[in-house]
Structure 1
Amino acid sequence: MLFREVIGHEALKHRLISSVQQNRVPHAQLFLGPEGCGNLPMALAFAQYLNCESPGNTDSCGQCPSCQKALKNIHPDIHFTFPFIAISTGKKEEIKEKCADWLPEWRTFLQQQPYGNYNNWINFIQKENKQGNINAKECGDIIHRLSFKTFESSWKVLVLWLPEFLEKEGNRLLKLIEEPPEQTIFLFVGHNPDRIINTILSRLQIVPFGRLQEDEVAWYLQEEQGVPAQSARQVAVLSNGNIARAAELVQVSQESYTSTLRQWMLACHAYDITDMFAWNEQFIKWGREQQKQFFFYCIHFFREVYLMQHGAAVLNRLTEDEMNFAQKLGGKLSAASVERIMELFDTYIYFIERNASARILITQMTVSFAHFFHRHPADIRHPFYAEWEL
């Protein structure tokens, strides 16, 4: 990947290029940032620049044999490690116990979804119901691969995506990181330092990444995915600087989430059991991806409600219809309730991603909403419901 293909982070690009030009490249770095910030594409661009035969002041050439191989993720001196599903039984050609066995799928994934997240990857290899990891056999293979001299370039580069999945097996890599073979660079790419084992984390130089700006996400959606300008701006707001989430939002059929949320809230506020559970049944029929994206929208919406309650609304983040709805809803829920609601949505997204029962989750959520609205039995019916009828 070329640096110019990586969205945003211009100052960081300059810093990485300068480290190469000044021959001051740290041998073990952690590109650390929130999901969808582009730290994996940046690692790919940096690995390509390190081995480019004619690097420029702002980017690799993109034309030399080294760049051509790096662009296809087949460079023999750029190695990859990532979470995967180990398959140790079955026919010989079906056994996959190391990352090398998953490389064809990985290369295709990088070409199609360079900003993809862990769940995108697991879904891509069609192993949604299993948990990936980086096992001891893969750690041994890393040591083996990096023990050889470079095949054709100046540097051996290991791009290790999501070291959070190393767990205790990662301790096998400590000596390799502390005393690396000559001309070897480690580029770890992660999101959550609390989930990276301390023995590994303490040996890495952290390169921090911030979230992408809304205009950067909108530009990507327009230029790279052909999304109309207005839709791109709306999705950029919902994505919260996460390109992976933005791409998912574009792919999911865009129902009128505002109307859907309004129907749900009306049923909960009216304490109409029939309507509440009819809405639940409609939600259960959605695919998991659409359920998750609806919850992301709800987090965005209730965040704006919370800001309005505290006199700090970012008005341009809501449409006129959303604003009217948010004002009415904010008057019926306490700020503490809204804060708790956002926490619940975040928790339920976590469980949806791990294949929890959608029926149980949405039933619990619906009952919780009804309780937020009705602290006293006398509140069960209120003119508020009629006022909202469409």
Structure 2
Amino acid sequence: DEETRLRAALFQMHEVAQRFFRTQLEGPEGAGARAYLAKRGLPQEAVAEFGLGFAPGGSRLARVLEKEGFTPEQLKAGGLALESQEGPGFSDRFRNRLMFPIASERGKLIAFAGRAAERSIHLLLEEGLHARVLSLPEGLDPHEFCTQRGGAEYEALLNQAPGYYYWLADRARQQFDARTAEGRVAAFRSLLPAINRVRDKIERVALVNDLADRLGVEPGLVLENFRRAAAERRGPAVAPAEVSSLQPAERLLLRLLMENEGARRELLGEMQRSGAVEDSRAAGVFRALESLSASGEPFDVTALLGRLEEPDRRLVTDTMLGLTGDPPDLEQGRAALRALESAAWEVRRKTLHKRIQEAEKAGKMEEALRLLQEKQELESRAARGL
């Protein structure tokens, strides 16, 4: 398919680029880079073994790649060339710098260390490369660190270095306020592009569980989102039950009942008796909450999702993953329920009033009287707060 052809072209492109960089390092323009490597104590044998190269000034690599027949789309995807700002064609991304090739475990050249991690990481992940990230203190590079502190200390730090995904998660915790639900969700969502590059399904599920736990996000919710996204890629998406379509009181109750065991004990039975949520977009979720609570099973979101179908499953995950602000308390829940009861009563009253008018207009006086009596009973119950 098209993706497979693109990947093959990118592998070939990186092989061409490595040959170019090595030739440049060995030529006249690479003299300064060779002197730098010698000063760092790197022998020529190591330079050759690890395939180091040099990116010269200008846009010669872009010209070479174009002559090799790589298309503009492939050049953009490869990340080695940029569209020129001075006219048609491409220019080199990397100029006047050493280049360090990165190969997969299968020996395929898939990136260069000169590239920013955010641009090249997808190739590393797709090739199944398991990387760890070591952030050295005081801005030192490995050579400087080893010179100042010794190889043993460097090796000790290296052995403690977190895996790439855990490093990403820890960085995300610093970028977002992990003390809030909103911050934790934002932190996890920032990891999704990297997670989605993991091809092995079992590894991806295990990774989602680990990272969700590391960031304090409910793993069941996250896995459900992944399951739903995969289903939507396979076929037409289920019409969403958007959280934004709920009334504020419905959203508050839904969140409260999923987060607060005391609220489930206090409010679920009252909700059933009042019928306030029978016509709610979330009625199916409220019924499942009541059923799960009555079953005596330990409550968690995964168990709730197991009792639901789409679009109610989506409603639960979208609600929990979109949490913001402080959680509501029981009194707020009671106030929300009263608001829903009042709204349901008003809808019922208007419906009865309309049916009475229609019955009177049609000359069905007996039916009109029956509906009038029902309306009066409804108003009487509302007045008594029942």
Q: Do these two structures clear the TM 0.5 threshold for a shared fold by scoring above it?
A: no
Q: Which has the higher contact order (CA 8 A, sep 6+)?
A: 1
Larger Rg: 2
Q: Give the TM-score taking structure 2 as reference length.
A: 0.26
- Structure number with higher helix proportion: 2
